[in-house]
Amino acid sequence: MKAVGIKGDKGPATSLFIDEIPEPPVSEGEVLVKIRAFGLNRMDLSQREGHYPVPTGAPKTLGVEFSGVIEKIHGDASEVDSFKIGDEVFGLAYGGAYAEKIAVSAKMIIHKPAKMSFEEAAGVPEAWITATQALFLVGCFKKGDRVLLHAGASAVSLAAIQLAKHAGASEIYVTASSQEKIDFCIQLGATAGFNYKTQDFGDEILKATDGKGVDLIVDYIVGQGYLEKDIKCAAFDCRVVLLALLGGFKTQEPIDIASILRKRVRIEGSTLRSRTLEYQKTLRDRLVQEAMPKFEEDSFQLFIEKVFSWKDIIQAHQLMESNQTKGKIICVID
């Protein structure tokens, strides 16, 4: 089958090409999906450059989220019994989604609603499952919390804005690189936003909350002064969830440990791709129970920046690298 390869196994976007690789074997409890579309994620850029450790046993082919049609089923497990050949599905995998076919556990696929396109469905799994994990499983969100989401126009934060609002957040703040992105987040449900290029979001959030600060922070940046400012605007018993290191893995200034102790701030790092299958299934089930009905009734919205042919995978990666997007970048297998 065809799949996206990397010349020399790592390199810039221009090293990507359409390769020929063996069709993946299907193990007990797995299904083989003929992929119609796949979503791009920041981890794909890191993996392409050789900076992202692939989980043990995962395919080296890029990509963790996809949509398509079940072509083959292996096993009699209860999870497999809920699917049949020909079903339209979308799901999350440990790797291998930049390809014509993928073998994936039936525990990590979801029936695609008829009203949802393959392009839309391919952009759901990583963003919405990550947002669910960050807010609820790791961040211990509770009704009435004030929330801060960095990279407000990213697919994960756009999902988190909607999930937090639906769950009863009292205030939702975002950071972004432009007023256009901030306005976009406010239209979706954010209370206010701050331009991290021109404003000190730590100070601004303290002003906006009358000095109280926020109860839950989801941070993908960490470096560039972010963690220091997170601690500054943290409320008592705040939970800070660190999901990525887009701004670097070192803080610019010494961390104020006294503030962490005084405010009882909990800082916890988390990843999704390295989690066990059962952990990911728990998140999938929560998405099915709580978010999918909202998609069906149009209460939750999906945002796609651009759809590419997978033959234009170089341009798709370059667009993601530009940091100018709002929502998902999707590639279709054509």
Mean pLDDT value across the chain = 93
Contacts of 15 (CB under 8 A, 6+ apart): 6, 7, 8, 48
Do residues 238 and 260 touch, judged by C-beta distance below 8 A? Answer: no
Count of other CB atoms within 10 angstroms of residue 276:
8
Q: Are 110 and 100 contacting, i.e. CB atoms less than 8 angstroms apart?
A: no
**Intervals of CATH 3.90.180.10 along the chain:** 2-124+273-332
Predicted local confidence at residue 220, as pLDDT? 85
Tokens of 152: 């407000």
Instruction: List, for residues 11-26, the tens digit of each pLDDT value.
Output: 999 999 999 999 999 9
Pairing verdict, β 109-111 and 65-74: unpaired
How far from 186 is each of 105, 148, 209, 217, 326, CA to CA, in Å? 37, 13, 17, 17, 13
pTM, 2 dp: 0.90
The series of mean pLDDT values per 10 residues for the chain, 334 residues long, is 96 98 94 97 94 89 97 75 92 97 96 96 95 94 97 93 97 95 95 93 96 96 78 96 74 84 94 88 93 92 96 98 91 97
What integer pLDDT is reported at residue 56 of this predicted model? 87
What is the dihedral sign for C-alpha 245, 248, 249, 251? negative
Tokens found for residue 17? 């090409």
| CA separation, residue 314 to residues 9, 59, 80, 137 (Å) | 15, 20, 35, 35
pLDDT tens digits, 211-265: 999 999 999 875 567 889 999 999 999 999 998 766 666 667 788 899 999 999 9
State the CB neighbour count (10 A cutoff) for residue 185: 24
Picking from 111, 71, 72, 104, the residue whose alpha carbon sits closest to that of residue 89 is 111
C-alpha to C-alpha distance for 5 and 22, rounded to whole angstroms = 13
DSSP string, 54-87: PPTT--SSS-SEEEEEEEEEE---HHHHT--TT-
Residues, the chain, total?
Answer: 334
Cβ–Cβ under 8 Å, residues 89 and 68 = yes
Residue 247 pLDDT: 61
User: From CA 149, how far away is CA 176, in angstroms rounded?
Assistant: 9
Structure tokens at 330: 């999707």
CATH 3.90.1200.10 corresponds to the domain 2-124+273-332: no
Domain 127-269: top CATH class: alpha beta
Q: What's the pLDDT at 181?
A: 94
Give the per-residue pLDDT at 329: 97
Select from 156, 150, 100 the least CA-distant residue to 131.
Answer: 156
Strand partners, 33: 70, 102
Chain region(s) in the chain for CATH 3.40.50.720: 127-269
Q: How far apart are CA 118 and CA 116, in angstroms?
A: 7
